[in-house]
Amino acid sequence: MRLKGEIHNPCYDEEEEKVAEENGRELNSIVGVGISPPPKLVVGYALTSKKKKSFLQPKLLGLARNMGIFFISIDLNRPLSDQGPFDVVLHKLAGKEWSEIIEDYRQKHPEVTVLDPPNAVQHLHNRQSMLQGVADLNLSDCHGRVGVPKQLIVTKDPLSIPNEVDKAGLKLPLVAKPLLVDGSAKSHELFLAYDQCSLSELEPPLVLQEFVNHGGVLFKVYIVGEAIKVVRRFSLPNISKRELEKLAGVFRFPRVSCAAASADDADLDPSIAELPERPLLENLARQLRQRLGLRLFNVDMIREHGTKDVFYVIDINYFPGYGKMPDYEHIFTDFLLSLVQSKHKKRPAT
């Protein structure tokens, strides 16, 4: 017998199919034979193949299985309500159609924890709404200040950009980022602009953000429910005044901070590498969690070079590359189990 939600999905590669089948087979035998206790938690997932590979690693699946957590692939060709039953649905897929499906499912199945609500995820698909409100967070008394670099949104007419930048008082160099983040490679194509005239070469819609010197180190703050994990990553080096005077043009740069190579073990200047203080991160994460209505995201933070505690949030990502987060399998399984526990707590005693 096959479990509901396990019918062949053409998006699968063979390895993924095997993982899901193994999970399902085991779940069946546990439920059917009745030797082991029933699974505590069934997690349905709808993820891209890239995400399945990086997230559903054997170390996560193995630990989860031992804890009674089973991951089942959602079949995108069948109605979601016919699959499961799930306790949790994990999802990251692009497109309006999927958002509507998952929102409809959420409304009809309030007993299922959908991670995360599509309208909240949507908020991060636009680099303007993504950072809205970060500067207003109340982080006083909290071991540092957190802001957003000065930025300008350009939606049309590239020829007007130099003038708009001038009017807005934005200082060069600028980082140009596509306004919309839709999971495509194009939405991660970023440029550094060294002079005002060349800005008209850029393709709106985009965000122009002041480049903040930060010593070439970035802090990735991963959030999984209540848990926070921060890692250092390599980033763009400082740009000196001299360099700025010498250079003109817009230059595309690669995805520097996405590389799995962490800067955690590098021999770095301590004033640059020192992690933001824990109370600051806890406060930031708590407020962002509330404000965004999300439980799975990460925040890219930089420290203004030459300061001890002036930070900027430059990017927030939904369901980021947790596979690269140290200890992610324990953090994730603990989080999933905490969802069942909080559900039980909410249930009225009979």
Ligand X SMILES: Nc1ncnc2c1ncn2[C@@H]1O[C@H](COP(=O)(O)OP(=O)(O)OP(=O)(O)O)[C@@H](O)[C@H]1O
Ligand Y SMILES: O=P(O)(O)O[C@H]1[C@H](OP(=O)(O)O)[C@@H](OP(=O)(O)O)[C@@H](O)[C@@H](O)[C@@H]1OP(=O)(O)O
Nearer to ligand X, 6 or 300 (CB): 300
Residue 45 CA to residue 194 CA, distance in Å, equals 43
- Residue 300 counted as an annotated binding residue: yes
- Residue 216 counted as an annotated binding residue: yes
Contact 149/174 with Cβ under 8 angstroms? no
Which of 324, 335, 337, 339 lies at the binding interface for ligand Y (CB under 6 A)?
Answer: 324
Instruction: For residue 281, give the 3-state DSSP assignment.
Output: helix
Q: How far is CA 257 from CA 171, 263, 272, 277, 288, in A?
A: 23, 10, 16, 21, 22
Nearer to ligand Y, 133 or 321 (CB): 321
313 binds Mg ion (CB under 5 A): no
298 binds ligand Y (CB under 6 A): yes
310 phi-psi bin (left φ>0, alpha ψ -120 to 50, beta other): beta
Is the C-alpha dihedral spanning 113, 118, 120, 121 positive or negative? positive
Instruction: For residue 245, give the 3-state DSSP assignment.
Output: helix
Q: What does 218 interact with, of Mg ion, ligand Y, ligand X, none (CB < 5 to 8 A by kind)?
A: ligand X
Least distance from Mg ion to the Cβ atom of residue 257, Å: 6
Across the beta sheet with 217-224, the strand order is 145-147, 310-318, 296-303, 217-224, 227-234
Nearer to ligand X, 60 or 190 (CB): 190
- Residue 127 counted as an annotated binding residue: yes
- Residue 242 counted as an annotated binding residue: no
Query: What does the block give as tokens for 314?
Result: 């430059």
Per-residue x/- marks for ligand Y, 45-84, CB under 6 A?
---x-xx--x------------------------------
Which of 117, 133, 183, 204 lies at the binding interface for ligand Y (CB under 6 A)?
Answer: 183
Least distance from ligand X to the Cβ atom of residue 207, Å: 9
Amino acid at the residue 231: V
- Residue 317 counted as an annotated binding residue: yes
- Residue 50 counted as an annotated binding residue: no
**Helical H segments across 43-95, by residue range:** 49-55, 58-66
**336-345 — which CB contacts under 8 Å span 24+ positions?**
336/41, 336/43, 336/64, 336/69, 336/88, 337/40, 337/41, 337/67, 337/69, 338/225, 338/226, 339/41, 339/87, 339/88, 339/113, 339/225, 340/40, 340/41, 340/87, 343/87, 343/113
Q: What does 235 interact with, of ligand X, Mg ion, ligand Y, none (CB < 5 to 8 A by kind)?
A: ligand X
Interface of this chain with ligand Y, residues 123 to 152, rule: CB under 6 A: none
Give the range of 43-51, 83-91, 111-119, 204-212 binding ligand Y by CB under 6 A.
43-51
- Residue 177 counted as an annotated binding residue: yes
Nearer to Mg ion, 213 or 317 (CB): 317
Least distance from ligand X to the Cβ atom of residue 112, Å: 28
Enumerate binding residues for ligand X (CB under 6 A).
Answer: 149, 175, 177, 188, 190, 209, 211-212, 214, 218, 235-236, 255-258, 300, 302, 314-315, 317
Residue 177 CA to residue 193 CA, distance in Å, equals 11
Q: What does 149 interact with, of Mg ion, ligand X, ligand Y, none (CB < 5 to 8 A by kind)?
A: ligand X
Nearer to ligand Y, 68 or 320 (CB): 320
Which of 280, 281, 320, 336 lies at the binding interface for ligand Y (CB under 6 A)?
Answer: 320
Q: Nearest 5°: CA angle at 10, between 6 and 11?
A: 95
Beta-carbon contacts of residue 79 (< 8 Å; ≥ 6 apart) = none
Q: What does 256 interact with, of ligand X, ligand Y, Mg ion, none (CB < 5 to 8 A by kind)?
A: ligand X
Beta-carbon contacts of residue 195 (< 8 Å; ≥ 6 apart) = 172, 247, 248, 249
Q: Which residue ranges are tagged as binding site?
A: 51, 92, 127, 177, 188, 209-220, 235, 300, 315, 317, 321
**Applying CB under 5 A, which residues contact Mg ion?**
300, 315, 317
**Applying CB under 6 A, which residues contact ligand Y?**
48, 50-51, 54, 92, 181, 183, 220, 258, 298, 317, 320-321, 324
